[in-house]
Amino acid sequence: MPLRTLSGKHVDPRKGRGAGVNPEGRFEQVGREAFDDGWATGTDDELVALKTVVTGELAKSIIAHNESPDIPFSQSINPYQGCEHGCIYCYARPSHAYRNLSPGIDFETRIFAKTNAAELLRRELSRPGYRCELLALGANTDPYQPAERSRGITRGILEVCAEFNQPVGIVTKNALVERDIDILAPMAEKRLAEVFVSVTTLDHGLARRMEPRCTAPVRRLAAVRALADAGIPAGVMVAPVIPFLNDHEIEAIVEAAAAHGAQRAAYILMRLPYEVKTLFREWLERHYPLKAAHVMSRVQAMRGGRDNDPEFGSRMRGAGELAGLLKQRFNVACKKAGLNQARRGEGISCDTSQFRVPGAGRQGSLF
């Protein structure tokens, strides 16, 4: 049977998609509600298979800047908006509301690719006032989502970064990152590249439901090994941590990360901003109805009684006794596995002193 969305529209949860509903974004002024008029007309749109549509677009700028005190970078690039991976917990989902699209199924099926990303990056890095800092890829949506296989936008960005000696840090859930080892390995030799692979769970069943179009967990760990063997500093993000779903796996994931050559690990407590909290609640009730109340109760216990805490300092880790115990468990697991042992600043591929604009300073020929 179709599920009723919050906007009233009936949508069947489709196999291979994270969200089962497609509610209007928070900026919409008009809502829709489906109802049975007795004429048995049916709803053909419910029967149409959900296909991913990737739309190329020309971006006006490519580097996004932030001043957040609780993330380790101030500039980032997102080659794509929207993400086919379909992770139900994705905090980037609300961004689709700015396009008058739903943070639900639309976010997973309506992808926008910044086709001129490499060209814009070359232009921005060449500006006289550019200050070289670590450039993060994958801060919002995954730079190696399925569209990258044919589009190659992320690879073009990395080629420009290699040309300028611009340090990069990558976070991804897709083993496609192995394709670019030929670029990343030479950069890593100069301390200009590092990669974090997000491993949310080792349970393939949970992964298929929670992040349906991501690379399987065992394959992500194999990518960590391939990166490490190529001399690229590799880490694992245990993110997000969700109470009663994957929090019990922290130690196992950290141990597996170390066994596959990871040098560092980090974690982030699940965030549920804006429409994500409603999408996640619907997903919980659909897949884990007996756990739903327990999960949200524990989430609220670490979020000051709310579903989400947007405050700097606590939004990534949570607050209170339970959040403190979670942090302690993670730190103990990392110490036992030998991760995060380097002093601050060591082993981090962010040597900005090598940055150069190709051709800058060359004197042209008189003839």
CATH of the domain at 172: 3.80.30.30
Angle, to 10 degrees, between the axis of helix 276-287 and the axis of helix 292-301? 140
| Residue 71 counted as domain residue | yes
Give the pLDDT confidence score for residue 349 in this predicted structure.
62
| Residue 263 counted as domain residue | yes
- Asked whether the beta carbons of 48 and 116 are under 8 A apart, the reply is no
**Cα 198 from Cα 347, distance rounded (Å):** 19
| Residue 271 counted as domain residue | yes
Give the pLDDT confidence score for residue 295 in this predicted structure.
98
Q: How many domains does the chain divide into?
A: 1
Q: Which domain holds residue 320?
A: 3-25+45-341
**Cα 238 from Cα 241, distance rounded (Å):** 7
Give the pLDDT confidence score for residue 136 in this predicted structure.
97
| Residue 365 counted as domain residue | no
pTM of the full structure = 0.89
**Cα 127 from Cα 160, distance rounded (Å):** 14
Give the pLDDT confidence score for residue 342 in this predicted structure.
73
| Residue 169 counted as domain residue | yes
| Residue 358 counted as domain residue | no
| Residue 37 counted as domain residue | no
- In the chain, % helix, strand, coil (3-state, to 5) comes to 35, 15, 50
pLDDT values of the chain reduced to their tens digit, one per residue, 367 residues? 344 444 444 445 567 899 988 888 888 766 666 556 667 655 544 445 689 999 999 999 999 999 998 898 999 999 999 999 999 999 999 999 999 999 999 999 999 999 999 999 999 999 999 999 999 999 999 999 999 999 999 999 999 999 999 999 999 999 999 999 999 999 999 999 999 999 999 999 999 999 999 999 999 999 999 999 999 999 999 999 999 999 999 999 999 999 999 999 999 999 999 999 999 999 999 999 999 999 999 999 999 999 999 999 899 999 999 999 999 999 999 999 999 987 554 445 689 999 999 987 655 544 4
**Cα 127 from Cα 288, distance rounded (Å):** 52
Give the pLDDT confidence score for residue 341 in this predicted structure.
87
HEC assignment per residue over 233-248: CEEEEEEEECCCCCHH
| Residue 312 counted as domain residue | yes
